[in-house]
Structure 1
Amino acid sequence: MTRTLESRRADDMTDLERDLVHLARMALAGRGQDVQMLLQRMARRYSRSNEAIGKALQDLLRDAPSADAPLRGLGNTAPVPLDMDSRVPLIRPDHLAPTVTPVLSRDVRDAVDQLCEEHLGRDRLLSAGLTPSRSALFVGPPGVGKTLVARWIASRLDLPLLVLDLSSVMSSYLGRTGGNIRKVLDYAKASPSILLLDELDTVAKRRDDGAEVGELKRLVTVLLQEIDDWPASSLLLAATNHGDLLDPAVWRRFEAVIDFPLPDAAQLREALEQYCEGEAPSDVLTVIARSLAAQGASYSEAHRVMTTARRRAALADQPVGAKLLDVCGEQLRQLPFAERVRLAVDLVQSDHMSQRRVHELSGISRDTIRKRVRHQESQG
């Protein structure tokens, strides 16, 4: 009988009254992020039937503490979560500002710009009853700029970047690992921020993988729940080098999936120009970029080449460009002879370098270059 009366009361409630009861229940339970999400839904719903209520809710969401939140600047006032066993911090703030502009393919840049524009234009989206994307998955081989792009986004949005070392949350007592992840994500959600889950495949593996124990499979479920509950005032980024290892449900949870390909020769050259800061000859950079691209190199490998040349130049008290010539020759010698010849001919024909200069850079004789160029011209 009592249940029947309660059902009737629930049926007699208006949508607004039901939302208010739901809102009160979540507020009393201390579920702050759920409260914000419900308010966002209410703002969208009532802006059509009751413009005053819709606008009032949108104003509340817009003016809610965010720009001056404790996490900005000096960090969250709550203590950094620690692993109960090792007492090692489970999360670390990344204060490194990007020293170079990421060199990205058009598709990647467009996707990243879209993320930033949504969060920078959050007020306009809220006014339209929408919210910015809350999560994005970065997929690509190591060294292609995933972490750099995360720093770049944090800099553009003026939000703190927090990095979760997924290996650190793997407790020696597997039953505590899910709790570690929840503690970290609750800490990150306390104020607007960008959280980067690096090497996501460490924990978010396929649940049909027979090699994984049951506890690790349950971690995937925990992670999916946390992604679903992520607030629109922050951005959850995840990066993986092995997208094929991820559970299919993980892919569906992210609102944006961005594939980071290996850079081509033009992109590597642009990156090298930033790394050398004008201290290396243009043609040397071109040859190194072509050589690295032929080897399937990443941006991190290009940066290592430039760093090696800088160190040698500093120790020998010589210009960076001079030592970069040595590094250039070392890079080219890693290519098969046929590939070196092809590259030498291409430099003469496409980049209009002199045969003498190409010989100096590649080690391929001028006679060989001349014969190959003539042969290709006759074939063309």
Structure 2
Amino acid sequence: MKAYRAAQSFFSTSRVIFVFDEVEDVFSDGGLFQPSTAQNHKGWVNRMLEENKIPTVWLSNNIGNMDPAFVRRYDVVFELITPSKAHREKILQDACGDMVDFDQLKHLARSEKLTPAVVSRAASVVRSIYQELGTTKAGKAVEHLINNTLQFQGHSIPHKNDPNQLPELYDPSYLRTDVDLAKVAEGLAHTRAGRLCLFGPSGTGKSAFGRWVAEQLNCPLLVKRSSDLLSQYVGGTEKNIARAFREAEIDQAILMIDEMDSFLNDRRTAIRSWEKTQVNEMLTQMEGFSGIFIASTNLMDGLDQAALRRFDLKIRFDYLDRNQAQRLFSRYCQQLDLGLPSKDDLHLIGQMRNLTPGDFAAVSRQHRFHPLSSCADLVHSVRAECVFKEGACISMGFA
């Protein structure tokens, strides 16, 4: 800080701008019961901020612990957030588009913590040895360096399989709901705003519906799960919730939160104060959000009553009816090259009372390494999925 003050005097007649990087080392270097360097000399620092002759750009990774008295003395304060997915794709294309293929670029851009500095450093390293690597290995090297950097920074790296991708045979007509999903999508396309609560048993297509809506509206989709938002620190979850809504607002994305029951438990049964503040923060953000917000839960009964009133539409997703089950079964028989189902096969499928689209999707994945040979095998495998459901009971046989 003394060097900065001296530089202000030395360059007072020059046309220059100062950049003071990593100022958290000065303003936020104190401990729990120990003031920071700046707080120990608060009056001197305040005068320095108010009387500086040369414009200065102050850069910090975190201003959370900065004294508000210092913050209000800055003429302009703004946050540089992590780029949106579209911007991340452009950054990758500009920095290493000639070294990574289309699929690799899309995969890397899915990382929400990807910054220009990480991409630039990885591209620079690989470009220096590009001749030795060749085109194929260069792309893998870029991906490896970026993922390693993110991982050692404590960030998760995107999986190869995109969890937000629609199931192969997704069709809203195979979802049993109490409203017309196609009309809901039409309405959302017109208003571009709405708060939906999707509830019902697991595997009934709630999360996939959110992805389908985003595809129909040609909108980016921001999916957050409890693991993305819950924090071990008091107040951390509330900050993550606010950050998620702000990110969706900036990207003009549909925000979908899975396992909403983790954040909207009934406050009347709350024991700890932070359980209430999490609900309060979620409700505040929901009310202030101007875009499309979709929440899904398997546990509707435990949600806060005030939260339920905040949703514009509550849609129940249920087990497939007989007609839906038989039509979806026939589609999967065709998809898996099992031939045409017999009347007995269709009858047996129609008798299952707790069947979901998720059961068919699970069996389809099993087929990759444990192939089915007939429609009857598909019936047997789907039935096994139903049996494994906790507390479920199904009806089978010729009724």
Q: Same fold (TM over 0.5)?
A: yes
Match 1:252 to one of 301, 306, 309: 309
2:247 corresponds to 1:187: yes
Match of 2:360 in 1: 302
Which amino acid in 2 is paired with 1:207?
A: R
- Where 2:371 maps in the other structure, the secondary structure is helix
Larger mean CA deviation between 320-329 and 184-193 belongs to 320-329
Match of 2:264 in 1: 204
Over aligned residue pairs, what C-alpha RMSD do you find? 3.9
**Alpha-carbon distance in structure 2 between the residues aligned to 1:253 and 1:333:** 36
C-alpha contact 1:291 1:332 (8 A) present in aligned 2: no
**Alpha-carbon distance in structure 2 between the residues aligned to 1:182 and 1:91:** 22
Match of 1:236 in 2: 293
**Alpha-carbon distance in structure 2 between the residues aligned to 1:81 and 1:329:** 42
Match of 1:265 in 2: 322
With the length of structure 1 as denominator, give the TM-score of the two structures: 0.57
Q: Counterparts in 2 of 1:338-377, with a 5 A limit? A: 340=396, 343-344=397-398, 346=399
Change (3 A) 1:282 1:159: same
Give structure 1 stretches of 5+ with no counterpart: 1-27, 31-68, 123-131, 347-380
Which amino acid in 1 is paired with 2:195?
A: S
* Matched pairs, number: 255
Match 1:213 to one of 272, 277, 280: 272
Change (3 A) 1:90 1:192: farther
- Where 2:178 maps in the other structure, the secondary structure is helix
Match of 2:283 in 1: 224
Change (3 A) 1:153 1:91: farther
- Where 2:352 maps in the other structure, the secondary structure is helix
Change (3 A) 1:180 1:326: closer
C-alpha contact 1:98 1:151 (8 A) present in aligned 2: no
**Alpha-carbon distance in structure 1 between the residues aligned to 2:189 and 2:383:** 46
2:220 corresponds to 1:154: no
How big is the shift at 1:228?
Answer: 0.5
How big is the shift at 1:289?
Answer: 1.6
Instruction: Determine which structure has greater relative contact order: mean sequence separation of CA pairs < 8 Å that are 6+ residues apart, divided by chain length.
Output: 1
Which amino acid in 1 is paired with 2:184?
A: L
Question: 1:75-123 CA deviation, whole Å, 9 max, x = no partner?
Answer: 79899369xxx94469998551342213123633x1x32332123334x
**Alpha-carbon distance in structure 2 between the residues aligned to 1:167 and 1:141:** 20
Q: Counterparts in 2 of 1:1-380, with a 5 A limit? A: 71=85, 80=112, 87-88=154-155, 95-100=164-169, 101-102=171-172, 103-105=174-176, 107-108=178-179, 110=180, 112-122=181-191, 132-210=192-270, 212-231=271-290, 234-276=291-333, 277=335, 279-283=338-342, 285-293=345-353, 296-308=354-366, 311-313=369-371, 319-321=373-375, 323-324=377-378, 327=381, 340=396, 343-344=397-398, 346=399
Which amino acid in 2 is paired with 1:178?
A: E
Change (3 A) 1:279 1:229: same
**Alpha-carbon distance in structure 1 between the residues aligned to 2:280 and 2:157:** 20
Match of 1:374 in 2: none
Question: 1:256-294 CA deviation, whole Å, 9 max, x = no partner?
Answer: 11111121222222222233326343225414423432x
Q: Which has the higher helix share?
A: 1
Give structure 2 stretches of 5+ with no counterpart: 1-75, 92-108, 115-152, 389-393
How big is the shift at 1:154?
Answer: 1.0
Which amino acid in 1 is paired with 2:300?
A: G
- Where 1:238 maps in the other structure, the secondary structure is strand
With the length of structure 2 as denominator, give the TM-score of the two structures: 0.54
Change (3 A) 1:74 1:267: farther
Change (3 A) 1:180 1:306: closer
Change (3 A) 1:200 1:310: same
Which amino acid in 2 is paired with 1:183?
A: R
- What percent identity do the matched residue pairs reach? 23
How big is the shift at 1:311?
Answer: 4.2
